[in-house]
Amino acid sequence: MTTTGRLVSWGPLTVRLMLAQISVLLAGLAIVLLTAVLAGPTMFYDELIDAGHVEEATGLGLEHLEDALRPVSLIALGVGAVPALCIAGLLSFYLYRTIGRSLASFTAAARQVAAGHYDVRIPSAGLGPEFDSLAASFNDMAAKLNAVDATRRQMLADLAHEMRTPLANLKGHLEGIEDGVVPLDERTTGILHAQITRLERLARDIRALTRAEEGLLRLQPTTVDMAHLAQQAVAAVEPLAAQKNITVAAAGVTAAPAVLDGERMGQVLGNLIENALRHTPPRGRVTVHTDLDPVSVTVTVTDTGDGIAAEALPHVFQRFYRAEAGRESDHGGSGLGLAISKALVEAQGGTLEATSPGRGQGAAFRVRLPRHTATS
C-alpha cells in the first residue's frame, strides 16, 4: 500500500518487532515481580541472620516479614516499572518506526529500479553500519544498472546509425537493378558484396565487444612470448602493407614471456596494426616495439599517419567514435576495433592507452600487461 506515492512506514514487520520487544519487557517485569514477592522476604530473612541479627529476625518472623515486604515491593516495582515500561515502549516505537521507514524507502527504490528508473538512490538511514552497507550496495547496483542501460541505449543508437549507410546502399542498388537503371554486372555485385561484408563485420564486432565488456570471455592463459606474437602479427599484415606502400616492422626485445591468452592478444595486436595501416599514408611506417621489465611486458604500435587531436584522445576507445566524420567508413573500419582491443586487454588485467603529438604527426597505442598473472 502507498500513500501519496510513498510506502506506509508502519508495516506488519515493525508491528511484530515492537510487540516482540514489549513481550520481552513484560516477561522480564513478571519475573522480577514474582522474584520480589515470593523470594524477597525469605532472602531478607536469611540476610538478617547472616548479618548477626538473629534475635530481630526471630522476633519478626518470616510471616510478618512477608506481610510487610510484599506490599512495599509491589508498590516500589509498580512505581518504577510503569514509567520504565512506557519509556521502553516509546523507544521501541521510535526505533521500529525508523526501521519501517528505512525498509519502506528500500521497497520504493526497488520498485523504481524495476520500473526502469535507475537514477534512484537511498540515503543513509543512520541505523548502523549494516543498513549503511545495504544502502551502499543498493546504490552501487542502481548505478551499474544505470550505466548498463545508458550503454545499451547508446549502443542501439550507434548501431542504427552504422547500419543506415550499408542498408541504404543495398536498397538503392537493388531498386536500381529492379528499375533497370543499374546493370547487374561485376561492379554492382562487388558493391553489394562489400556492403553485406560490412554488415557481417559490424555484427561480429558488436558481439565480440559485448562479450568482452560483460566478462563473458573464457580466457585461456598460458605462457606466451609477446615478442614472437608481435612478429607474427607484423608478418600477417605485410602483404597488405606492401600493397599500400607502407613499411611495417617489429622491434625491441627478442623474447618477452608473459602469462596471457595468446589468441586474444593476437587479435588485439592485429586490430592495432590494421588501425595504424588504415591511417598511415603511402611511404609511411608502422612499428611494433616490444619492451620487458620484471613485472610487465609492453607492446607499442606506432605509426607516422594521420595522428589524433588532443581533444579526441580521451574518446578514441569509445564505440564508433570518429575524430573526423566518416573517417572509419572511408578507411573500411567498423569503428569498434579499438574498443574491442581495450576490452580484451583489460579482461587480462592490462591497460591500453593512446598518445599522439597531434594531427598529421602519427600516433602510438601502448599495451601494458602483467607478466605473471591473468584473469579468467
Q: Is the pLDDT of residue 72 over 60?
A: yes
Q: What percentage of the chain has pLDDT greater than the value 70?
A: 70
Residue 131's identity, in one-letter code, is F
Within 10 A of 338 (CB to CB), how many other CB atoms are there? 22
**Position 282 confidence tier, pLDDT thresholds 50, 70, 90:** very high
If DSSP codes are grouped into helix, strand and coil, which group holds residue 289? Answer: strand
More confident residue, 105 or 299: 299
> Per the confidence metrics, is the pTM higher than 0.85?
no
Q: Binning pLDDT at 50, 70 and 90, where does residue 333 land?
A: low
Per-residue cell: 149: 542501460
- The Cα–Cα gap between 110 and 92 comes to 27
E strands in the chain: 2-3, 6-7, 222-225, 247-252, 257-260, 285-292, 296-303, 351-355, 363-370
In whole angstroms, give the CA distance from residue 306 to residue 277. 10
Rg of the chain taking only CA atoms, in angstroms? 39
Q: Per-residue pLDDT tens for 15-32?
A: 666 677 777 777 777 777
Asked if 246 contacts 279 with a C-beta cutoff of 8 angstroms, the reply is no
Is 272:336 a contact under the CB 8 Å cutoff?
Answer: no
CA dist., res. 174 & res. 192, Å (int): 9
The region that residue 358 occupies, defined by phi over 0 for left and psi between -120 and 50 for alpha, beta otherwise, is: left
| Residue 51 DSSP code | T
Three-state DSSP at 222 gives strand
Query: Are the C-beta atoms of 259 and 373 separated by less than 8 Å?
Result: yes
- Cα angle 325, 211, 169 (rounded to 5 degrees) comes to 35
d(CA 342, CA 206): 14
What class has domain 222-370? Answer: alpha beta
pLDDT band at 304 (very low <50, low <70, confident <90, very high): very high
Residue 358 in contact with residue 310, Cβ under 8 Å? yes
pLDDT digits (tens, 9 = 90+) for 181-204: 888 888 888 888 878 887 887 777
Tell me if 149-213 shares its fold with 222-370: no
Task: With beta carbons less than 8 A apart as the criterion, state whether 30 and 128 touch.
Answer: no
Assign 325 a pLDDT band (cuts: 50, 70, 90).
Answer: very low
- Residue 323 or 94, more confident: 94
In the chain, domain spans:
2-117, 149-213, 222-370
Average pLDDT, the chain: 77
Domain at 149-213: CATH architecture: Orthogonal Bundle (1.10)
